[in-house]
Amino acid sequence: MSTMQEVAKKAGVSKATVSRVLSGKGYVSEATKEQVFKAIEEAGYRPNLLARNLATNKSECIGLVVTNTLYHGSYFSEILSQAAKKLEDNGRQLILVDGKHSAREEREAIQFLLDLRCDAVIIYPRFLTIDEMDSIIEQHKTPIMVVNRKLRKHQSHCVFCDHKGSSFQATKYLIERGHRDIAFITGAIDSPTAIERLAGYKEALNQYGIGVNEALIAQGKWTPASGVSAVESLLANKNKISAILASNDEMAVGAMKKLNDLGVSIPGEISIIGFDNIPTAAYLSPALTSIKDPVSDMISEVINRLISMLDGGYLSKENVFTSDLLARNSVIDGPYKG
Amino acid sequence: MSTMQEVAKKAGVSKATVSRVLSGKGYVSEATKEQVFKAIEEAGYRPNLLARNLATNKSECIGLVVTNTLYHGSYFSEILSQAAKKLEDNGRQLILVDGKHSAREEREAIQFLLDLRCDAVIIYPRFLTIDEMDSIIEQHKTPIMVVNRKLRKHQSHCVFCDHKGSSFQATKYLIERGHRDIAFITGAIDSPTAIERLAGYKEALNQYGIGVNEALIAQGKWTPASGVSAVESLLANKNKISAILASNDEMAVGAMKKLNDLGVSIPGEISIIGFDNIPTAAYLSPALTSIKDPVSDMISEVINRLISMLDGGYLSKENVFTSDLLARNSVIDGPYKG
DNA sequence: TTGTAGGCGTTATCAA
DNA sequence: TTGATAACGCCTACAA
């Protein structure tokens, strides 16, 4: 790869001049400017970003960390397409790196992005704790934003959503339509979101005096296949079930398939609710009710904040949009007629 | 951010020694090693990758370019999760950057990755032509791999799949089951894959003496929503239709939904086939037949080649796995009974 | 076993 | 309007 030095020699000027031409800063005569461009062309020169970023300590790009266990579903596509769209308008590059399967690896991914001198990093955490993230944010000058978690200290650095509340609402919705035997399929049990959704379900049952029957709770792993297994284990116990609340749409789809295969008619006999309201899922079946998770809104909000922090004009209010996001979290009417 | 220099001072040694401790290369006494580690700890030191990569001219990371118009679907998730999984085992970071909406932007994305000194780059192209890619590959020493296109010159740098052939097979499959009025929903018409699939459909019709009826061809855009519109326009012309071949699963799902809404019973009356065989789609409905597109296999193969090129042991055979991929491209039996 | 010094490709500060 | 030259933070002979 040719360097700036070579271009300089070819154009008969110094490195400094080439640099000025490239950056557009400082005075350069039209004549030499032209010569430099010609030399650049001839040499097939391309600037080395490593060197540039090392010298300037910035990079015009924004990093995103997501665990690859999330890569499988449409939920993830939603996150990414939203982020890409927003950033594109802003003229910055989005760099995605893999958070893998542990807090350590998630931290390394963040560090990697930081060491690459990304202007900012967004993290959709899976393993890091609130405290760890609060502390990471403190340790770095680079803006770090967290999606889908409520931080303790740095609330303007996060955007989240009330999963427990939504789950409570969904359960309540079923109860009010006369359901008493409501099964629940959890997400991967080490996921905070999964835990919150389970908690909301339990709280609603208790509040309505129904009580939690552990036999009606099956563990899933967010995937369609795990939804299938969940239904299998649920039915193995010969439980009476009139509705299923699945912790996401993908599992709901799996559950539905299994019931279909077993010849259980849907809708009517069993009502199914999933979360996330992913685009394709909306086309799946009118028998599936879904609750919208405001990912797109969250990502969009996070990037807005980031941009205003980086390009100036940031109002350091805390928690500006949080309540807004919560409000948007609503139950969509399903087909079940109690 | 503290630098190596500071760590050196704190430990009472030189930068070089710190560097040796970090890299594990060269001799360092246990005693000083310990001191250095302590100093690193105290300083909260983290190496600056920009500087390191600039000095060594490598980065332990592999870039992937994908157009963000692909970000919406499960097909994309499949690509990414496969890539992440493979690379993880190899201990390298995967960096995804956005190819956006034009050949120029796709080229810029590649350049960006190259300037970042990625060890290699993988491109799932959407706008670049074969010749452009062949020429890009020639211009750079860094290994560049192309997924889903057959290059003219550098065939060991690409992995592809016979979309035309698969589409031909799918159409043939329908014809052999007695269908004569087969509608076709295209992908976005500027996509090579879409064009190939359309060509396969036409060729099959012609070969079986059925002839192409342009009124039975509707333009889609790969999305479920465009599948819905396609069916609308298809039915608007009061065409007789007994089967629909959609250029991907997402559109097939949309088409199915629309037919459902209209009360057309499926399966039986109309047989639908989509492409790609995305995981969730498999759960959608037994009424949907799908043809497997070997994305995972392609990605996996590309990364295998890359790794052996980078870590040594690369056999420079041309086209080693191509035919294998073609063979895997098979029609899955659907529900339609003649 | 450790330190010195030069280099990686830019940017940025001064003089000229 | 231009050219030296010193950073940027790290690696790596070559010496010691």
Residue B17, domain CATH? 1.10.260.40
- Give mean pLDDT, residues B9-15: 93
Q: Which nucleotides of D are covered by protein (CB under 7 A)?
A: 1-5, 7-13
- pLDDT category, A85, cuts 50, 70, 90? confident
Do the domain assignments include residue B196?
yes
- pLDDT category, A333, cuts 50, 70, 90? very low
- Strand C contacting residues by CB (7 Å): A 1, 3-5, 15-16, 19, 22-23, 25-26, 45-48, 51-52, 54-56; B 12-17, 20, 26-29, 31-33, 51, 54-55, 57
Residue B293 has a pLDDT of 80
Residue B156 has a pLDDT of 87
Rounded-to-integer distance, Cα B147 and Cα A28, Å: 44
Query: Residue written as tokens 């192309």?
Result: B146
Residues A212 and A316 in one domain: no
Residues A167 and A267 in one domain: yes
Q: Which residues of B touch A98 (CB under 8 A)?
A: 84, 87-88, 93-94
Mean pLDDT estimate for chain B:
86
**Which of A201, A247, A241 shows the shortest CA–CA distance to A226?**
A247
- Quote the tokens at residue B245: 């071949």
Residues B147 and B79 in one domain: yes
Residues A264 and A176 in one domain: yes
**Domain assignment of residue A77, given as a range:** 61-162+295-324
Residues A183 and A271 in one domain: yes
Element (H, E) at A246: strand A243-246
Residue A294 has a pLDDT of 80
Among A44-53, A221-230, B204-213, B259-268, the range scoring the smallest mean pLDDT is B259-268
Residues B110 and B215 in one domain: no
Residues A37 and A98 in one domain: no
Do the domain assignments include residue B153?
yes
Residues B206 and B283 in one domain: yes
The pLDDT of residue A189 is above 60: yes
Most confidently modeled range among A55-59, A93-97, A122-126, B79-83: A122-126
Residues A92 and A173 in one domain: no
Residues B65 and B96 in one domain: yes
Do the domain assignments include residue B337?
no
**Which of A42, A63, A61, A43 shows the shortest CA–CA distance to A52?**
A61
Residues A284 and A168 in one domain: yes
Residue A203 has a pLDDT of 97
The pLDDT of residue B333 is above 50: no
The pLDDT of residue B330 is above 60: no
- pLDDT category, A1, cuts 50, 70, 90? confident
- Give mean pLDDT, residues B248-265: 84
The SS3 assignment for B188 reads: coil
Give the residue with greater pLDDT, B277 vs B327: B277
Do the domain assignments include residue B52?
no
The SS3 assignment for A49 reads: helix
For testing contact with chain B, the best of A4, A58, A59, A68 (most B CBs within 10 A):
A68
The pLDDT of residue B171 is above 50: yes
Provide the domain count of chain A: 3
Those residues whose C-beta lies under 8 Å from the C-beta of residue A52, and which sit 6 or more positions away, are none
- Give mean pLDDT, residues A201-221: 96
Residues A119 and A92: beta-carbon distance below 8 Å: yes
Residue A323 has a pLDDT of 47
Residues A21 and A70 in one domain: no
Residue A14 has a pLDDT of 93
Do the domain assignments include residue B221?
yes
CATH number at residue B110: 3.40.50.2300
Looking at chain A, the whole-number percentage of residues with pLDDT higher than 90 is 49
CA dist A325 → B220, B234, B322 (Å) = 33, 40, 48
Q: Which residue is nearest to nucleotide D12 (CA to C1')?
A: B16
Do the domain assignments include residue B73?
yes
Do the domain assignments include residue B333?
no
Contact A283 B84 (CB under 8 A): no
The pLDDT of residue A25 is above 90: no
Helices (H), chain A: 4-11, 15-23, 30-43, 49-56, 74-90, 103-115, 130-139, 163-176, 192-207, 224-236, 249-261, 281-284, 295-310, 322-327
Residue B338 has a pLDDT of 34
**Which of B324, B305, B298, B288 shows the shortest CA–CA distance to B124?**
B298
Do the domain assignments include residue A336?
no
The pLDDT of residue A264 is above 70: yes
Rounded-to-integer distance, Cα A187 and Cα B144, Å: 38
